[in-house]
Amino acid sequence: MTADDLPAAFASLPAAWREVLPGWSGAAEQAVVEHVRAASDGREIAPADPFRALRLLPPQAVKVVVFGQDPYPQPGHADGLAFSAGRGKPHSLRRIFDVLEADRPGWRRPEVWRLDGWARQGALLLNPVLTVEVGRAGSHANCGWQALTSEIVEVLCRREVPPVFLLWGRAANDFFDAACPPGSAATVLRTRHPSHDMKREFMAEGSHFAATADSLDWWSLAGRPG
């Protein structure tokens, strides 16, 4: 897709999310479109469906939130869910699977490294920046996406029973800390980012998956409903 396809993507945002995100107005959305258009200059952007994470999971069904940073820039890798890979086997996802294997010896990695099953169970896999120019990591970091995605965090943090937030890396921590209102009852687990984690420090404090296993069956990438 290109930036010219973004208005149609915004128009297809699920009604359940549109109702709880008043800040996602026409003017705010148009500002993002114009920034992305200027940054990409007609070149291909990814993923093909920037709002897929919201399309797979209505707000009332969110149990856990996992923050990425921005989509994979490699062609075909980004599939609209943070860390999930429509193609290829990214290093960050390798480290995530390392922890899953350590938690449950004998668990086998799937052939296709998509995380749709987590979304179906209630995990919102959210990149604060929802698009990237193919081949240029971080190219849309300054296009204004965070002004919109931070409202998602605020809405979820204000719930009477907020979801659990899993924050992986400095960017995720900074984004959450700026967006979540003071006094929220949200449970927050923090660790370093799994990408390029040569010292095996990702979740060295303890497995986030084991700690939240009552909420999701992380080892079932096919997903269970509910």
Helix (H) or strand (E) holding 167: strand 164-168
Instruction: Give the model's pLDDT for residue 221.
Output: 86
Contact in structure between 209 and 100 (CB atoms under 8 Å): yes
Question: Can you give the CATH number for the domain in which 118 is found?
Answer: 3.40.470.10
Three-state DSSP state, 16: helix
Which range marks the domain in which residue 128 is found? 3-211
Catalytic-labelled residue, pool 5, 41, 70, 116: 70
Whether residue 220 is contained in a domain is answered as no
Q: CA nearest 50: which of 81, 22, 92, 20?
A: 81
Cis preceding-peptide flag for 47 (omega within 30 of 0):
yes
CA distance 34 to 25: 14
**What is the reported pLDDT for 197?**
66
Decide if 70 is catalytic: yes
pLDDT in tens, the chain (226 residues): 999 999 999 999 999 999 999 999 999 999 999 999 999 999 999 999 999 999 999 999 999 999 999 999 999 999 999 999 988 899 999 999 999 999 999 999 998 899 999 999 999 999 999 999 999 999 999 999 999 999 999 999 999 999 999 999 999 999 999 999 999 999 999 999 998 666 678 998 999 999 999 999 999 986 444 3
Domains: count for the chain: 1
Let me know if residue 218 belongs to a domain: no
Per-residue pLDDT, 226 = 36
How far is residue 121's CA from residue 218's CA, in Å, rounded to a whole number?
9
Q: Is residue 217 part of a domain?
A: no
| pLDDT the model gives residue 58 | 97
- pLDDT number for residue 224: 43
